[in-house]
Chains A and B, each alone.
Chain A
């Protein structure tokens, strides 16, 4: 297996505030890694460190075969960065921006012009190419920033919240670009607040909280790590609903089921299970036995897996008190894959 990024024990503090407290990372070549974490978790800080913009206090990393600390120029030659805030010159026009960046990548004047035109078309900016970036909308600016990162195909592409402020169509378009690049062996480190985006794009997801990556795995592994699958029952009438509610109440005892949520108006009950068919059968048997399911009042059953949002909330819910309690233990791949 070849890695594009190997980082070990990255630490970074700002004054007394410890932002990164020993981050380890290994990104497979051509994979998409989704870095998630609440605001202020240190995602941007980690990206900036790996993109040579900031030095870690300690730790080491190899990016595309170059040592981050001793060969930053080699690293710069292999990466492209789209930071959290658009890094374009708003006095210049869109075309001038791209031609300038292409020039700085030593494409040569003619090639630079051609590449800029291609990218302007690809990112739907051709009509606005000769307008100053100052007059662009937030989404257009964002797209120009992305285009600037694609002038040449990097080995590693950093995308720090790339779709914040994009409309659904542009977002979809960017997702397509990301998939396309990943298929061409470009490794992508993506941070995002939209967990659906990580779910859609990322091969591996890491949750950064309290300075560490507290969980990592494929989105599926992380979801099953919660160990639950929600069974949702929707009752056709109040009588069946009430019988089920009574049968599942803790005072009924012995069934081992708990009610996560019940909605009197919608006649709906959510019950967490382990997702096995045996457990589901137990539940249905119980309903039949207690009158919660009759020929006339049979509930509709649906199961729903936890989303990454649920995982995110479960893992970061304690983030505020992380100072008082020990940081959550890292969930390893094998634990998650159980």
Chain B
């Protein structure tokens, strides 16, 4: 077998391990699955009534919930990696003739899998309670492509945070930050009722163009009034920029943390 085949085998084993670990932590698994469902029902049926200016609230809120769940999932990834580093298992892997990057790749790929599952759940529950997005295959492909890219970028960022945190508890606070950020964006309410400072932040933070691009693609119009193409460009710039930074950063940090 070639060394590339070996790399693929190694990475597959690592992903399998990380996913197994996720399913076996019943508390975390339950939270990860319940979160999208509960938030969806909460937002649509509890807050949604007061917020129905622009048609059914479920039409508005789906992209925001996807981003919120992705933020939560990234926190999980940071904690998982920090936990691994705190234990001895990474040392054993590193004493074996496998590419060290497979360890990191395993975590990121598992993160991607978990988060796509949560995304599918948000979309499924949304459709179940009356969300009626576009039926254009191309627009769906665009929205899903952006989601994959965004989750990937966030997963690498989470890996970098997990490496920097120095422990599972510290890594956990990352979840908090990422779950807070969407609230100060167009995820749940348009920005026009926010005070100007918050509004400036909300309009210029990365989650807003990502959410607006999905909204534009699925519903045909954004909530900011800008064109979908415009939001998509900014969204792509943010996600690709984040990916271009966090991927090498995580790889570098991993090498630095594990070779003293």
Contacts and interface: CB of A to CB of B under 8 A. Distances in A.
Given A89-B17, A89-B21, A105 B259 contact: no
Interface residues of B, number: 25
Contacts of B1: 106
B15 to A, nearest CB: 12
Given A55-B259, A91-B21, A91-B25, A148 B13 contact: no
B6 interface: yes
A79 B9 contact: no
Contact of B260 (A55, A80, A81, A132): A55
Task: Say whether chain B's binding surface is mostly helix, strand, loop, or mixed.
Answer: helix
A273 interface: no
Contacts of B135: none
Contacts, number: 68
Interface string A85-109: 1111111100010001101111000
Nearest to B21: A91
Nearest to A149: B92
Interface of A: 48, 51-55, 73, 76-77, 79-81, 83, 85-92, 96, 100-101, 103-106, 132, 148
Contact of A104 (B20, B25, B96): B96
Contacts of A52: 94-95
A87 B91 contact: yes
Contacts of A90: 87
B92 A148 contact: yes
Given A91-B24, A100-B17, A54 B95 contact: no
B21 A106 contact: no
B93 A104 contact: yes
B95 A51 contact: yes
29 contacts: A48-B91, A53-B91, A53-B259, A55-B259, A73-B97, A76-B94, A76-B95, A76-B96, A79-B95, A81-B95, A83-B88, A83-B92, A87-B88, A87-B89, A87-B91, A87-B92, A88-B89, A88-B92, A89-B17, A89-B89, A91-B20, A91-B21, A91-B25, A100-B13, A101-B96, A104-B10, A104-B93, A104-B96, A104-B98
